[in-house]
Structure 1
Amino acid sequence: MKRLVILGGGTAGTMVAVKLRRKLKKEKWQITVVDQDLQHLYQPGLLLLPFGVYEPHELVRPRDKYLPRGVDLVMGEIDKVDPEAQRVDLMDGRTLDYDYLVIATGTTPRPDQTPGMEEGEWRKSIHEFFTLEGAIALREALADFTGGRLVVHITEMPIKCPVAPLEFTFLADAFFEEKGMRDKVEIVYATPLEGAFTKPVASAHLGTMFEDRNIHMEPDFYIEHIDPETKTMVSMDEREIPFDLLVTIPLNMGADFVARSGLGDDLNYVPVDKGTLLSTRYQNIFAVGDASNIPASKAGSVAHFAVDGFTENFVDHVHGRPMTDLFDGHANCFIESGHGKGLLIDFNYDTEPLTGVYPYPKVGPLSLLKETRANHWGKLAFRHLYWNVLMRGLPMPVSPHMSMAGKETAGTNV
């Protein structure tokens, strides 16, 4: 019997387990998922929790609820992978042998990698919203904030959900405006990028939105350290940004076991072929979702679109056939902009976000790079789709590959 081991039972790992369990014969394939806890977190909801849209219990469900019969769940912390012996070692001494391995352990914020970030003011005047504990603490900090300088900061790219800090900034602007205290809050957006986003057209559009909202952007800001006593961020070029409340996106890194196993780059992401997600070093190891180094957004939509093709490729690969369903880097992201409105961007490796409609030509119903209430409701509706469609391996009504249908190029609707 062949043994498939999937490391990580989050978004990507769960989808892989569900879809491959249907495609691989039970009498010939044993499928095992490894994770260190039973809490499956709806990560897109963390952004909205500090603003009172969700309560913590609405974002968490049991991990094993979404794994089908015929998939074993092993609870334990991963020590390392031995790719030569084809074995996974757990911290408690247990081992799991595999014939094929899928790494889906994602990426996590690492405030410990920036001097001063975790010292003194952590969870006081310095916050993050990429963990459940962090989002809850930030909710309290926003409720108690009476005014001053709010700094939203990105340490380095890539990060999980690259539009999330933009969304937080827009939502904070609307939050303080609705509380009648926007004039008491100075909002600064500090980023290592040259502009608001990684793609030029979207960056220019979002930068204009900053200007319209009186949000100051500090570009090319590479943080060197934080002085917790003076509440000041200091950049590599010695620029200083004081803050009263800092909402930071710490350095994001892949799992430490990836480094211990010699499988990752300097940020612990697994180098893979960007079309097939197959390891560039081992023919029986794949990395999916945020765990890989593909040049695409680390976002749930990318995991969803990539896994659709990955499962077809996996079956072909194990049967000695060429993998032909190549992932194109397709991503689409809702961007909450406050006051019940949002934007939507749709792009891939080769095509940046464009204007137009999505997903169907002429009818949409969603607008691209345009603030609408429909986009806001689309963002909220996704939580239902996540639990009831994606995590159950059911087909979505959109293609995993990016389509130019409905997009506007040079003033023409395609």
Structure 2
Amino acid sequence: MRRLLVLGAGTAGTMVTNKLRRRLAPTDWDITVVEQRDRHFYQPGFLFIPFGAAPGKAVRPTRSTLRPGITLRRGQIDRVLPADNQVLLTNGERLRYDQLVIATGVEPRPDQTPGMRDPRRWRKNVFDFYTYEGAVALAGALRAFAGGRLVVHVTDLPIKCPVAPLEFAFLADAHFRQRGMRDRVELVYATPLAGAFTKPVAARHLGAMLDERKIALEPDFLVERVDDHRLISYDDREIPFDLLVTVPLNMGAEYVARSGLGDELNLVPVDRHTLLSRTWPNIFAIGDANDLPTSKAGSVAHFSVEVFADNFLQHVRGEPMTGRFDGHANCFVESGDGRGLLIDFNYDTEPLPGRYPVPGLGPFRLLRESPVNHWGKLAFRWMYWNLLLPGRPIPLPARMSMAGKHPEE
């Protein structure tokens, strides 16, 4: 009996174990998942909780998301011992493996920015929404906010879902307009990027949307510390705030560093097409846990896992892996007032205007706001729970296509 050990039962870990359980004979392969949490979170839902969405819709028991025939081991990982093909848990237990998949993602680390995690500020006038607890706490703060300067801030990249901070700014604008108090709120978007987004065409579109909503853009802002009611950058610029909604530095799990498997952000270096470790021939890192030069988004996990599953079967048979992940990502961008836009890109091609997934027909518009895009984002929650996590096929190609897109000058 061969042993596949998957570390992490988040989006990528759950998808890949469910897919592989369907394709690996139970008489030949034992599949075990290590996860310390007993709840699985639909993380795109965190964005809507501060604006009134029911928190319970973003949570399900972890066990319920895994297919029969998968062993769920509750525990905390101390380190990987790759030379021994073992994983050591903090309780002293050792788990052996023949193949290891690291899928423990990244997590917000407010402790990495001086002053951000100060108990006098944290969850009082400084909030995050990339965690379930943070999103719920921020909902209360927004209800109580009577006006002033609200700053939406990104500490550094990479982060999970890099469009989410922009979405929050757009939704905050709509939220305060609907409450009849937009004139009492100054909205500021502070980013370490030179513009609203990483890619030039998308940055122009998204930057124009900030301008239309009178959301001030503070580019090239690299925060050094949070001091009193101010963000202070390394070049001594200051951004005062009454309410700060920040995306802290995102880092991989600490056990990755203790195991000698990660870079300075605890991300596992992998081949960007096969997701295989650059150092160990039986270790893969999937989802947000690796150092792929693309968005840390659920769509990347989905498209890359589609390629990975076939590659893994070839790999364990001793054959060359023929699948090549191209960095494909697409993200709905909620823009407020029941509208949204969609971006679709990969390693080599930036987001472009057009229609998706059917050229000329859509129904989704690329880099253009529409109600259909908004409904597409809301419908994705059903797809996530019922199709993506169970590992069922979705009729969307893993490789990005240029069909339906048209370049801009």
When the two structures are superposed, what TM-score results if normalisation uses the length of structure 1? 0.98
Alignment of 1:339-354 (within 5 A): 339-354=337-352
Change (3 A) 1:318 1:309: same
Offset of residue 405 of structure 1: 1.1
- Residue 325 of structure 2 aligns to which amino acid in structure 1? F
Q: Distance in 2 between matches of 1:123 and 1:23?
A: 45
Deviates more, 1:24-33 or 1:260-269: 24-33
Q: Distance in 2 between matches of 1:285 and 1:104?
A: 11
Q: Distance in 2 between matches of 1:193 and 1:410?
A: 21
Check conservation: 2:352, 2:408, Cα contact below 8 A: no
| Pairing 1:32–2:32 present | yes
The answer for the alignment partner of 1:401 in structure 2 is 399
- Residue 133 of structure 1 aligns to which amino acid in structure 2? E
Q: Distance in 2 between matches of 1:253 and 1:409?
A: 34
Alignment of 1:80-229 (within 5 A): 80-119=79-118, 120-228=120-228
Name stretches of at least 5 consecutive residues in structure 1 with no aligned partner. Answer: none
Alignment of 1:246-285 (within 5 A): 246-285=244-283
Q: Which SS does the other structure have where 1:84 is aligned?
A: helix
Q: Which SS does the other structure have where 1:209 is aligned?
A: helix
Q: Which SS does the other structure have where 1:20 is aligned?
A: helix
- CA shift digits 1:92-149 (9 cap, x unpaired): 1111000110000001000000000011110010000011110001000111001100
Alignment of 1:269-308 (within 5 A): 269-308=267-306
Q: Which SS does the other structure have where 1:217 is aligned?
A: strand
Q: Distance in 1 between matches of 2:68 and 2:225?
A: 49
Q: Which SS does the other structure have where 2:204 is aligned?
A: helix
Check conservation: 2:201, 2:408, Cα contact below 8 A: no
Check conservation: 2:14, 2:65, Cα contact below 8 A: yes
Q: 2:316 aligns with which of 310, 315, 318?
A: 318
The answer for the alignment partner of 1:364 in structure 2 is 362
CA RMSD, aligned part only? 0.8
Offset of residue 11 of structure 1: 0.6
Q: Distance in 1 between matches of 2:65 and 2:210?
A: 40
Q: Distance in 1 between matches of 2:152 and 2:79?
A: 35
Check conservation: 2:326, 2:347, Cα contact below 8 A: yes
Q: Which SS does the other structure have where 1:47 is aligned?
A: helix
- CA shift digits 1:171-194 (9 cap, x unpaired): 000100111111100111110000
Offset of residue 409 of structure 1: 2.5
- Residue 99 of structure 1 aligns to which amino acid in structure 2? D
- Residue 94 of structure 1 aligns to which amino acid in structure 2? E
Offset of residue 410 of structure 1: 5.0
Q: Which SS does the other structure have where 1:122 is aligned?
A: coil
- Residue 208 of structure 2 aligns to which amino acid in structure 1? T
| Pairing 1:335–2:306 present | no
Q: Distance in 2 between matches of 1:392 and 1:405?
A: 29
Offset of residue 391 of structure 1: 1.0
- Residue 151 of structure 1 aligns to which amino acid in structure 2? V
Q: Distance in 2 between matches of 1:4 and 1:170?
A: 43
Q: Which SS does the other structure have where 2:9 is aligned?
A: coil
Q: Which SS does the other structure have where 1:389 is aligned?
A: helix
| Pairing 1:382–2:359 present | no
- Residue 109 of structure 2 aligns to which amino acid in structure 1? R
When the two structures are superposed, what TM-score results if normalisation uses the length of structure 2? 0.99
